[in-house]
Amino acid sequence: MKHYKKILGFILLLPLVGCPPSTCEISPGWPIASEVFTTAQQQILPVALPADTPLLDPAQIALYAQYGYSDWIKGEGTNYGQVETLSYDKRTDLAPGYSGAPNAARLLSFFSLSDIHISDKESPAQPLLVGWSAKFGATGACSSAYSPAIVATTQVLDAAVQTINALNKQTPFDFGISLGDDVNNCQYNELRWFIDVMDGKFITPSSGAHDGSFSIDYQRPYKAAGLEKNIPWYQVIGNHDQFWMGSAYENAKTMEAHIGNTVINIANDPNPSSEGVNSHGAYMGVVDGSTPYGDVIKAGPEEDFAVPPTVVADENRRSLATFHSSSLNWMKEFFETTSQPAGHGFTQACIDSDFACYSFQPKSNVPLKIIVLDDTVKGESQPNYARAELDQARLDWLEAELQEGQDNNKLMIIAAHIPVYPQKTFEASLGNMSIFSSKSVVNDLGLLAILHGYPNLILWISGHRHMNVVTPLPYDTSVEGQGPENSFWEVETASLRDFPQQFRAFDIRRNADNTLSIFVTDVDPAVTGDSPAAKSRGYALASSRIFGATAATLAKTDSGAYNAELVKQLTPQMQNVIANSGTPLD
């Protein structure tokens, strides 16, 4: 924590070296809106743009509001005709024997965050130019490389945490979980910002020269609210947590770029390979924190620069990865925390073995455990670091955890960063997609065959794709002895970086006939109109209209939310086990 003491000292000295008194106040925080809603009650909806709206490029941020790209309204909540106070799409796809019995008791309530992508926007080790220089409709890695939403990632997380605290007062959460990609570029300071926001610490959301710290809202130091101390939270590892921009194993070039003063030079390629970072051709730039929109500077073809562009170096930008391990230092940071539990799921055994998998039982009086699985790619020279992968050790561990839960009559939820064989989009008719690497010891369908052998598995939760997709994963009718109870649901949580910038709430209930209902609900952080988080929402919305878009998509008015009641059938044995479990509903 020494680096934060140094930064705080630097900040407190600034008024003595010429900072105008009117701009030297450190913000006590960024309070959210006074009323908090889930998307079942109220949605954030894009405002449709006229057909003749000019097609803007990503860097034209000053024009976003002028042409309505960042405009949104508060609309009515989702409504699928459910005969309840809150309306949900009731899904009985996997429970043909469901009788329509009402909910009887609550077994578990928790929230999930995913793909927060806390970003050190001033780091010289990021590929901003790939997105900044792109044109309307650009695809590939452009939107991952750059979005104007990166200027306020810590403030968006802080708004989400405050919203969670408000919801917790209505219906207490038993725990929370982050499904990976807490950070954008595997940096120490990015992960410290993430943990410190969760802990409610003092945040200095800038690095290096700290330009604009007392004149630009998104640069201003502030006190994060912090998650309520009675809510334990747990952690899953993602690809961006371990690899350069989530796409390449750290090497000497990238490690030096993190802590050095020279802006990284790589090819300006929207479709880079995992080794593309070793190429050259253009300086990727940094965000100028002294500008209202976070303009990208020190970027362009290498021939445009007589000497390489430089920034103020900062040792706290160092990569958490080493040549020997992509995950060990990252896990260790979760023990430097003031919130619960210590390690946030990771144990000393995880550290000793460099193994980012664990399990826990959130409630002693409910027979249900969470299996946290690291399904990310490991090691050097992989073809694609955004794919999923299991080696034999992780597959063996997973099967042992599933068998333990089955043998001891526990319901089970797998939490992993990357989904398994999910629907391509919200539309089930478009089919499912394989995400597992060719180097994995088991592919998607092979893993599904294993998972379907454990009828107590009720749910797989993940992030990674930045989408709110719910996928039914039915049992294989050709396998003797299996039935509907061998099916399970997969639920993806969207990203806090990209529109719709939502997190999820889960409410698992026992029904009167001892089936289960899993209520999944998207939530928009309750931002206020003049906060960095509110501006980030507009930037994220505008980016979704620009990257990968066409003129026709400007008319989009969909929130991206999907709220559903997912019914799961249980074995007769588990029905008996849970018959008296849970807190009766009023």
pLDDT of residue 261: 98
Within 10 Å of residue 137's Cβ, how many Cβ atoms? 15
Share of the chain above pLDDT 70, in %: 94
Q: Alpha helices of 176-319 — where are they, by DSSP H?
A: 188-199, 252-259
Is 78 a residue whose pLDDT tops 80? yes
Mean pLDDT computed over 118-125: 98
**Residue 180 to residue 240: CA distance in whole angstroms:** 8
CA distance 133 to 60: 10
Q: What's the rounded Cα separation, in Å, for the pair 404 and 544?
A: 43
3-state secondary structure of 72: strand
- What residue ranges do the domains of the chain occupy? 2-584
Q: Indicate whether 303 pLDDT > 50.
A: yes
pLDDT per residue over 358-386, tens digit each?
999 999 999 999 999 999 999 999 989 99
- DSSP letter string over 460-521? EEE-SS----EEEE---TTSTT--GGG-EEEEE---SSSTT--EEEEEEEEETTS-EEEEEE
Pairing of strands 564-568, 89-91: parallel
Whether pLDDT at 423 is above 80: yes
Q: What is the mean pLDDT of residues 554-573?
A: 95
CB neighbour class for 165 (10 Å; exposed up to 12, middle 13-18, buried from 19): middle
Q: What is the pLDDT of residue 28?
A: 85
pLDDT at res. 562: 95
- pLDDT tens, position by position, 268-288: 998 776 677 999 999 999 999
- Supply angle C-alpha 424, 427, 429, rounded to 5: 90
Helix, strand or coil, per DSSP, at residue 123 = coil
Secondary structure class of 218 (helix, strand, coil):
helix
Average the pLDDT over 168-188 and give the result: 98
Residue 93: per-residue pLDDT: 95
In whole angstroms, give the CA distance from residue 326 to residue 378. Answer: 8
Q: What pLDDT score does 274 carry?
A: 67
DSSP, residue by residue, 25-46: PPB------SS---TTTEEEEE
Domain boundaries 2-584, corresponding CATH code: 3.60.21.10
Name the average pLDDT for the chain. 93
Q: pLDDT above 90 covers what percent of the chain?
A: 89
Sign of CA dihedral 574, 579, 580, 586: positive
Q: Which of 22-26, 135-139, 452-456, 481-485 has the lowest mean pLDDT?
A: 22-26
Alpha helices in 140-276 (DSSP H): 142-145, 153-170, 188-199, 252-259
CA 477 to chain centre: 34
Tell me: the pLDDT tens digits for 239-273? 999 999 999 999 999 999 999 999 999 999 987 76
pLDDT of 25 reads: 56
| 8 pLDDT higher than 70 | no
Average pLDDT over residues 413-424: 98
pLDDT of residue 529: 86
- Is residue 277 within 8 A of residue 248, CB to CB? The reply is yes
Residue 86: which pLDDT band, with cuts at 50, 70 and 90?
A: low
Q: Is 508:583 a contact under the CB 8 Å cutoff?
A: no
Write out pLDDT tens, residues 312-358.
Answer: 999 999 999 999 999 999 999 999 999 999 999 999 999 999 999 99
pLDDT beyond 50 at 6: no
pLDDT of residue 404: 98
For residue 424, with 0-12 CB atoms within 10 Å meaning exposed, 13-18 middle and 19 or more buried, which class applies?
Answer: middle
Q: Which two tokens stand for residue 444?
A: 């998607």
